[in-house]
Amino acid sequence: MGTQSAHVDTFAADNLPPRDLWPEFPNLEKLGYPERMNCAVELIDRHVEEGRGDRVALIGGDITWTYAELKGVVDRIAHVLVDRYGLIPGNRVLLRSANNPMMTAVYFAIIKAGGIVVATMPLLRAKELKYLVEKPELNLAICDRKLSEEMEKTRTQAPRLKDVLYFGTDAADGLEAQMAAYDEPFTACDTASDDVCLIGFTSGTTGQPKGTMHFHRDMLAICDCYSREVLKPGPDDRFVGSPPLAFTFGLGGLVLFPFRVGASALLLERAGPDDLLHAIATHKATIMFTAPTAYRAMLSKLDDADISSLRKCVSAGEALPKPTWDAWYEKTGMKILDGIGGTEMLHIFIAAPEEAIRPGSTGKPVPLYEAKVIDDDGNECPPGVPGRLAVRGPTGCRYLADARQTVYVQNGWNITGDTYETDADGYFWYKARSDDMIISSGYNIAGPEVESTLLAHPAVAECGVVAAPDPERGHIVKAYVVLQPGFTGDAALVKELQDYVKAEAAPYKYPRAIDFVAQLPRTETGKLQRFQLRQIAETASA
């Protein structure tokens, strides 16, 4: 066994899955991490120690903090947590805030003190928050005052939550007031590199959300694999984007990656397409992280925007359709970096650097990761044959006390739930979530492929394609379409779109039904909620 855990509260160790249900971690040793490390030290203090303390770490609202200033804030918060709230290594702390510098400082203060962060999406309600208090058995929450309403409701519904500490307030019992009493440096908890520091909950469309447990070393591994090898940022980069920090896509892309190289992060509490464009122009951002739907929404606004500072754009969360990639390239000259990641894997594990991109393909396994497409018996599918995506690498799935561990991890591989196909050159092509495949008259049809075809038609702004029950065919392909301004959703347009798909794709894939809608149901992370569309389709045909 490795080095001793620093956790005094052994909840994490007690609730990790049994060792034989963990995935394998090939290539982990190649990263050469020491047995003991605290990722807060590696990502923040290291820059101060090595003379980069004056560089800007965080910008947001009216705050600009250098690395030295951020370290000072983190240290004061850590003192408050340990001294006044009795935090001991291994305790879980719930964190609730929109993306901002203070949230980030609290995040690292918890980790620096040896605690475990349970970050939550700002839009969650008390009913959902209650589970995120109870499942990880925590008794302290730290929350932006602006979000106090649901927090207070949560408190009445989850009595084990003893303390709620607010920031963004000048109240005497608020975090800022309490921090003022401390100005000594805080000595980081001497954690093991495989001590848990984050429990990231999946958004979970069905059943309870799953808590994914990540170690200090995992926080660095995603920086040293995807970011260093594919994204390749430098210290002068300024990162911006939309995903919440409670979503690990946002955590990595907006905080860990810039911090690993001593770059700057611009954090926006509101990060819709207009906010993003405005922030890029104002702060001269160079690297953007957002979801495919935001790229599409920005396309029509680029003429009035100044994005000349931008040099790299990353897309993840759902498939990036080729028409979106093409349109962005045509308008900006930039090749969007698509990448598939997951909460279980912490971040992106298949992607391609600009020079190796094949538009429409997700790419190849990120260096130090391995991926394959397998059939129902676990045998590898040859190129061109769709199957289940399996991956392994330095990070991987460990659910917090959850029987679904054996669904995600099989034979040491992480099974993401996606249907993929490889080509002869080893590129990976996304088909659909495995449970989103449409079976119509015996044909297997991937909804996202039909969506991608429709998106290339000038009338289509957004679309979602799902199975609708049909007495004869079992299911039919049904499209929900949001139109571009200036188009009318009438029978003629339905026919035109159907003919268009028949001409561009195999005719059996064309949507036999098309509904025009004002918007599509999406998660806070920008994902299309296909199960919602399926329910609407079912109700409509009943």
H or E element: which one contains 388? strand 387-392
- Provide the minimum distance between the beta carbon of 251 and ligand 3UK in the complex, in angstroms, as a whole number: 8
- Provide the minimum distance between the beta carbon of 349 and ligand 3UK in the complex, in angstroms, as a whole number: 9
Which positions from 473 through 502 interact with ligand 3UK, judged by CB under 6 A? none
- Provide the minimum distance between the beta carbon of 345 and ligand 3UK in the complex, in angstroms, as a whole number: 7
Applying CB under 6 A, among 56, 225, 246, 348 the residue interacting with ligand 3UK is 348
DSSP string over 443-507 = EEEEHHHHHHHHHTSTTEEEEEEEEEEETTTEEEEEEEEEEPTT---SHHHHHHHHHHHHHHS-G
Kindly report the number of other CB atoms within 10 A of residue 532's CB atom. 17
- Provide the minimum distance between the beta carbon of 341 and ligand 3UK in the complex, in angstroms, as a whole number: 3
Sheet holding 364-365, edge to edge: 63-66, 56-60, 264-266, 238-241, 287-290, 312-315, 337-341, 348-351, 364-365
H or E element: which one contains 75? helix 67-85
Total of residues contacting ligand 3UK (CB under 6 A) = 25
Decide: is 195 part of the binding site for ligand 3UK (CB under 6 A). no
Distance CA 131, CA 148 (A): 17
Question: x/- site string to ligand 3UK, residues 196 to 215, per CB under 6 A?
Answer: ------xx------------
Applying CB under 6 A, among 260, 347, 364, 392 the residue interacting with ligand 3UK is 347
Instruction: Decide: residue 328, CB within 10 A, 0-12 exposed, 13-18 middle, 19+ buried.
Output: buried
- Provide the minimum distance between the beta carbon of 57 and ligand 3UK in the complex, in angstroms, as a whole number: 22
Decide: is 317 part of the binding site for ligand 3UK (CB under 6 A). yes
Q: Is 277 helix (H, G, I), strand (E, B) or coil?
A: helix
Judged by CB, which is closer to ligand 3UK: 109, or 351? 351
- Provide the minimum distance between the beta carbon of 160 and ligand 3UK in the complex, in angstroms, as a whole number: 27
Applying CB under 6 A, among 100, 227, 293, 362 the residue interacting with ligand 3UK is 362
Sign for the CA dihedral angle at 511, 516, 521, 525 comes to: positive
Answer whether 193's CB lies under 8 Å from 216's CB: yes
Decide: is 319 part of the binding site for ligand 3UK (CB under 6 A). yes
Distance CA 44, CA 321 (A): 37
Decide: is 249 part of the binding site for ligand 3UK (CB under 6 A). yes
C-alpha dist (Å) from residue 38 to 27, 89, 298 = 21, 12, 39
- Provide the minimum distance between the beta carbon of 363 and ligand 3UK in the complex, in angstroms, as a whole number: 9
Distance CA 178, CA 189 (A): 21
Judged by CB, which is closer to ligand 3UK: 3, or 203? 203
Distance CA 489, CA 483 (A): 7
Q: Is 517 helix (H, G, I), strand (E, B) or coil?
A: coil
Distance CA 515, CA 504 (A): 20
Nearest Cα to Cα of residue 276 among 265, 289, 257: 289
Q: Which stretch binds ligand 3UK (CB under 6 A): 159-167, 178-186, 311-319, 470-478?
A: 311-319
Judged by CB, which is closer to ligand 3UK: 56, or 345? 345
Decide: is 318 part of the binding site for ligand 3UK (CB under 6 A). yes
- Provide the minimum distance between the beta carbon of 156 and ligand 3UK in the complex, in angstroms, as a whole number: 30
Decide: is 339 part of the binding site for ligand 3UK (CB under 6 A). yes
Judged by CB, which is closer to ligand 3UK: 192, or 256? 256
- Provide the minimum distance between the beta carbon of 433 and ligand 3UK in the complex, in angstroms, as a whole number: 5
Answer whether 150's CB lies under 8 Å from 126's CB: yes
- Phi, psi values for residue 493, rounded to 5°: -70, -35
List the alpha helices (DSSP H) in 158-306: 175-179, 216-222, 248-251, 257-260, 273-283, 292-299
- Provide the minimum distance between the beta carbon of 222 and ligand 3UK in the complex, in angstroms, as a whole number: 8
- Provide the minimum distance between the beta carbon of 335 and ligand 3UK in the complex, in angstroms, as a whole number: 14
Applying CB under 6 A, among 316, 390, 445, 446 the residue interacting with ligand 3UK is 316
Decide: is 530 part of the binding site for ligand 3UK (CB under 6 A). no
Decide: is 148 part of the binding site for ligand 3UK (CB under 6 A). no
Applying CB under 6 A, among 97, 100, 248, 414 the residue interacting with ligand 3UK is 248
Residue 98 is classified by DSSP as S
Applying CB under 6 A, among 89, 241, 258, 341 the residue interacting with ligand 3UK is 341
- Render the burial of 233-245: b for 16+ CB within 10 Å, e for the rest: beeebbbbbbbbb
Judged by CB, which is closer to ligand 3UK: 417, or 521? 417
Which positions from 407 through 436 interact with ligand 3UK, judged by CB under 6 A? 416-418, 430, 433
Judged by CB, which is closer to ligand 3UK: 93, or 348? 348
Residue nearest to ligand 3UK (CB): 341
Distance CA 40, CA 77 (A): 13
Decide: is 521 part of the binding site for ligand 3UK (CB under 6 A). no
490: Cβ–Cβ under 8 A, 6 or more apart, which residues? none
- Which residues of this chain interact with ligand 3UK, rule CB under 6 A? 202-203, 247-249, 316-320, 338-343, 347-348, 362, 416-418, 430, 433, 525
